[in-house]
Structure 1
Amino acid sequence: MKKPSNSRARSSRWSALAAGCAALAALTVGAVPAAADGPEPAAVAAGVRAPVDREALRALMAPDGVASGTMVRLSAPGLRWTEATGGLSQDPAASFRIGSVTKVFTSAVVLQLVAEGRFTLDTPVQELLPGTLPAHWHPITVGQLLSHTSGLGLPCVAPENPQAPTPAAVVAALTDPACPAPEYPVTRQQYNGFNYFLAGMVIEKVTGHRYADEVQWRIARPLGLRRTYLPAPGNTAMPAPSLAAPTAVEPWAWAEGGMISNGPDLERFLGALLRGRLLPPAQQRELFAMPALSQGAQDRFSNAGLLRAELADGTAIWGKTGSMQPYTGGVFGTADGRRVLVYAYTGVTRDPAAQRRRAQDLVAAAF
């Protein structure tokens, strides 16, 4: 692997990408306090929730020091509500970059491959991707990638072509001899987007097809997600309409965070996933099963990489957040998929505490 150049611009860009990958949970996840696992409240099991606080949502959507514009889409029995504020497009079908929400699509494809018998969640990545990880590393399983319990750290060197690194170059940087080996034994759940670069590589190796094509064939087309796709490398264009004016952002994050979608598609996708339309029962259970290492983590992820958060009344909600300039957003739903929230906003600040509070307040008002 070619060592990174001394270009300050190139190095600083890669440092920012690596730091953003590590800190993404702190920046955008989380919104509501996590609690111990337990049975769902009876009201949730029956699909009954309190009415949506539309006025609270509208107040949160007003442009301020956190967001210059916000889009909210909410579906529930007897309700489908979409509004946008600020400079965002008022078109309900407007597209945006979904960032790390991409990981949920990646996880769903991996679980489908598990259901097909291609491998198991206990299969070592080293077995599926021979020669990709150093021989002296302890085996890392596919399940550990999805649940952020792999012990992987961050790259300590820049990859080749840091402006638009390939997945292989990203993993080569992660495994450079100058970088520390993963934590072993693993003692905690630690959110790390680089897990999903490896998961994407597993998908391509096992199927023999591009990751982007597998997402289309297995998820987007069956569900009719016509505005959900992974742009080709180097393609910074946005489809029209889009929520905000396009920027020259390189969608580098691939299976970790590179996809484009819109509110209707994300609502349909998460609802279908939670209701069991995409996975057989055995893999469906992984969506809600919590690894032991998630206990005590600030942000708790299931075996399938879904963020579990809990409302004040004990209701568990499941979903994912993501950030890719100029957007920050998320999608969350009740376990039965009967109420789903999609939100996206153009950020004014990158302060983690402000981002967390905004997500918390949006979720609380929607559920």
Structure 2
Amino acid sequence: MTNSRISKARWTAALATGAALVSVAVLGAASVPAAAATPTWTQAVAPATGQIDTAALRAALAGLPEPSVRGAMVRIGGRDGRWTGTAGEWTAPVEGQFAVGSVTKVFTAAVALQLVGEGRLSLDDPVQDLLPGLLPSSYAPITVGQLLSHSSGLPKPECARPGTPVEVVTSALSCGTPTSPGTSVQYNGINYFLAGLVIEKVTGRSYGAELRDRILRPLGLRHTHLPAEDWAWAEGGLVSTAGDLTRFMNVLMRGGLHRPAERASLFTVPSIPDARFSHGGLMRTPAPGGGPVVWGKTGTNRGYTSGVFATPDLGRVVVYSTLTTGTDTKRETDRVLGIVGAAFKGYGEGVRGAGGA
């Protein structure tokens, strides 16, 4: 396949699997009210080495709402400047809160890698040793690194039910057959329920407390939190804003949260077929439409399909979110691919250094 077709296939798979394990149907605190369909955008661009394609962005947002996507928000930062836009029924400010779904996994992996850097955990530690009795005795040893990179071989969570993290894991593993760990990639939210439980076991504190004290407070992410009622937890429960996600990605990818070895793990993808997730929970993929290689994560929860992606040099950092209806998966996917492709369109090759917004 051509790079463009490979890119579309990867993004389609990422959007299909980016949902929190069982999405919460009620929008709750993150809801966005319905309103006029006229797109709005603001622009403050000071080009340095690239060019934000504002015409492509306007075209990607045009026509909303539609039956499959009610509205959308885009925020672009980096050395090319800034651009923000909303369309359709997204009438909250660009910096309004929304449920980020499986983008939460990158926060969870960041905490786990900090514990690795402190010598309290290793990517090679068997999960069965850390959480004795939780996984079936018939399962082969699974490492922490395999959880974070979705190469654990755990069966698809078709039997997962809401509950405590332990109850979610137990119910999910009550059916299905695992594959050999470390031999293939199968995106699975149960990996990150287990990662959250590992964090709690190693630290003796709650996952939420570790996330708050290690990531949210030090980075000043005042609008990011873990709602108590969202059982998706360490796998997909966070609520955040475009600005907070942009800051998180800038600090994370620059190495501001980890020592050099653990920062390297952020960009280390296992040497197995079709591997695309790193030990930092990041997905590596070309941007839609043949754009630059980017790192980031998609997520779906509470009616939002969202993502945060950045070029390796942080020359462009993109956060988007769409209000999807679940009525036409293909049209939803095409709309998101169009928005993300437009956001990275025009990014200049040869950009060096770490920029941010």
The 1:48/1:288 distance shift into structure 2, 3 A limit, reads farther
Contact preservation (8 Å) 1:156, 1:173: no
CA contact under 8 A between 2:79 and 2:315: conserved in structure 1?
Answer: yes
Q: Do the aligned partners of residues 198 and 350 (structure 1) sit closer, same or farther apart at CA in structure 2, a change above 3 Å counting?
A: farther
Aligned residues: 302
- In the other structure, the counterpart of 1:38 is none
Task: Please tell me the residue identity of whatever aligns with 2:202.
Answer: V
Q: Distance in 1 between matches of 2:48 and 2:115?
A: 34
Relative distance call for 1:181 and 1:360 in structure 2 (3 A) is same
Give the counterpart of 2:219 among 214, 218, 223.
223
Q: Tell me which residue corresponds to 1:302.
A: 278
1:329 aligns with 2:306: yes
- Please list every run of 5 or more consecutive structure 2 residues that lacks an aligned counterpart in the other structure: 1-11, 19-46, 345-357
Cα 1:69/1:302, change in 2 over 3 Å: same
Q: Tell me what 2:203 maps to.
A: 207
Question: What residue number does 1:358 align with?
Answer: 335
Q: Report how far residue 25 of structure 1 moved.
A: 3.0
8 Å CA contact retained: 2:189, 2:235: yes
Given the two structures, how large is their TM-score scaled by the length of structure 2? 0.79
| Partner Cα distance (1:78, 1:307) in 2 | 23
The answer (yes or no) to whether the contact 2:125–2:144 under 8 Å persists in 1 is yes
Partner of 1:343: 320
Per-residue CA deviations over 1:210-246 (Å, capped at 9, x if unaligned) read 11111111111111100001011x3xxxxxxxxxxxx
CA deviation string 1:187-218 (max 9, x = no partner): 31111111000000001111111111111111
Shift of 1:363: 2.1
Measure how far apart 1:338 and its partner are: 2.8
Question: 2: CA distance between counterparts of 1:186 and 1:113?
Answer: 22
Give how far 1:133 is off.
1.2
1:257–1:322 Cα contact (<8 Å) kept: yes
**1:258 aligns to what?**
237
Deviation at 1:320, TM superposition (A): 0.3
Cα distance in structure 2, aligned partners of 1:72 and 1:185: 37
Contact 1:65 1:349 (8 Å CA) reproduced = no
Find out whether 1:188 has 2:184 as its counterpart: yes
Shift of 1:48: 7.2
> Residues 157-176 of structure 1: CA distance to partner in whole angstroms, max 9, x if unpaired?
454xx4xx110101111333
Question: Match for 1:149 among 151, 156, 169?
Answer: 151
Q: Deviations over 1:17-49 (max 9, x none)?
A: xxxxxx9735266xxxxxxxxxxxxxxxxx976
Deviations 1:77-128 (A, max 9, x none): 1522222122223423200000000000000000000000011100000111
Q: Residues 108-147 of structure 1: matches in 2 within 5 Å?
A: 108-147=110-149
Q: Which residue of 1 aligns with 2:169?
A: 171
- 2:50–2:80 contact (8 Å) kept in structure 1: no
Q: Secondary structure at the match of 1:203?
A: helix
Contact 1:124–1:140 at 8 Å: present in 2 too?
yes
Cα offset for 1:359? 2.9
1:36 alignment counterpart: none
Contact persistence 2:78–2:317 (CA under 8 A): yes
Q: Deviations over 1:324-346 (max 9, x none)?
A: 12211100001122311000110
Residue equivalent to 1:27:
16
Secondary structure in 2 aligned to 1:206?
helix
Across the aligned residues of Structure 1 and Structure 2, the Cα RMSD in angstroms comes to 2.2
SS of the residue 1:301 aligns to: coil
SS at match of 2:169: helix
SS at match of 2:217: helix
Q: Secondary structure at the match of 2:308?
A: strand
**Cα offset, 1:181, TM superposition:** 4.1
Partner Cα separation in structure 2 for residue 28 and residue 87 of structure 1:
25
